[in-house]
């Protein structure tokens, strides 16, 4: 007899369901979303565990390779394909989703999602953080420009290298404006 497992992964807990090749449920449980905890509950089935399926999500880049390292035959599933396959399900619960994924794994009617390497995710993180910092930098610059316009101070086209100096000179006549814009320029320099 072969076994098939479905995992409905959430941040704190993962619903686990194991079915046999006839569709009979052998295990339904919730465990911490940690590779070791998942392996511990699946250990009695490991010798005959044919497939373990988990839906692609934000934890997949971490969880999928960790399950493979532990020797589990894990497959990451395309979310749209899983959603379509389980659309007839009336009462959605984590346990029922895990059961649905287990049945998808049993029937073989799934489409595997590609899980990128850790280095790809590291590069993506770097680029995302860079883009976000750049946006914050520009948001602060535009906020300074806009707030000064309310007091009739028009900066015009200034290069980035001369922006701080131009703002400080333009706001120098009013101590209140000078103090507030200086705080914004400090925040801009940090970002």
Query: Does the pLDDT at position 191 exceed 80?
Result: no
Q: Decide the pairing of beta strands 3-9 and 13-20.
A: antiparallel
Enclosing H/E stretch for 26: strand 25-32
State the pLDDT at residue 81: 82
Q: Which CATH superfamily is domain 3-107 in?
A: ATPase, nucleotide binding domain (3.30.420.40)
Query: Does the pLDDT at position 90 exceed 80?
Result: no
Q: Does 154 or 91 have the greater pLDDT score?
A: 154
State the pLDDT at residue 82: 87
State the pLDDT at residue 28: 96
Q: Which two tokens stand for residue 66?
A: 């960790």
Q: Which two tokens stand for residue 110?
A: 């799934």
pLDDT band at 8 (very low <50, low <70, confident <90, very high): very high
Can you give the residue ranges of every domain in the chain? 3-107, 118-190
CB-CB neighbours of 148 under 10 Å: 19
Q: What is the mean pLDDT of residues 23-44?
A: 96
> No. of H helices and E strands in the chain?
7, 5
50/167 Cα distance (integer angstroms): 66
Tell me the pLDDT tens digit for each residue of 158-168. Answer: 888 888 999 99
pLDDT band at 38 (very low <50, low <70, confident <90, very high): very high
Query: Which of 25-29, 105-109, 146-150 tops mean pLDDT?
Result: 25-29
Chain mean pLDDT for the chain: 92
Q: Which two tokens stand for residue 56?
A: 């692609």
């Amino acid at each position: 007899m072969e076994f098939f497992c479905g995992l409905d992964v959430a941040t704190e807990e993962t619903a686990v369901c194991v079915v046999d090749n006839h569709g009979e449920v052998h295990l339904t449980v919730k465990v911490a979303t940690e590779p070791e905890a998942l392996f511990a509950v699946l250990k009695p089935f490991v010798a005959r565990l044919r497939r373990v399926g988990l839906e692609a999500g934000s934890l997949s880049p971490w969880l999928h390779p960790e399950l493979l390292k532990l020797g589990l035959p894990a497959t990451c599933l395309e979310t749209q394909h899983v959603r379509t396959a389980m659309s007839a399900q009336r009462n959605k619960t984590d346990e029922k989703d895990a059961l649905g994924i287990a049945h998808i794994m049993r029937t073989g009617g799934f489409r595997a999602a590609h899980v990128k390497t850790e280095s790809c995710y590291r590069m993506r993180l770097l680029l995302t953080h860079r883009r976000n910092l750049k946006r914050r930098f520009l948001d602060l610059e535009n906020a300074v420009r806009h707030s000064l316009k309310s007091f009739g101070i028009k900066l015009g086209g200034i290069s980035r290298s001369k922006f701080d100096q131009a703002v400080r000179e333009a706001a120098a006549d009013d101590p209140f404006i000078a103090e507030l814009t200086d705080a914004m320029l400090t925040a801009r320099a940090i970002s």
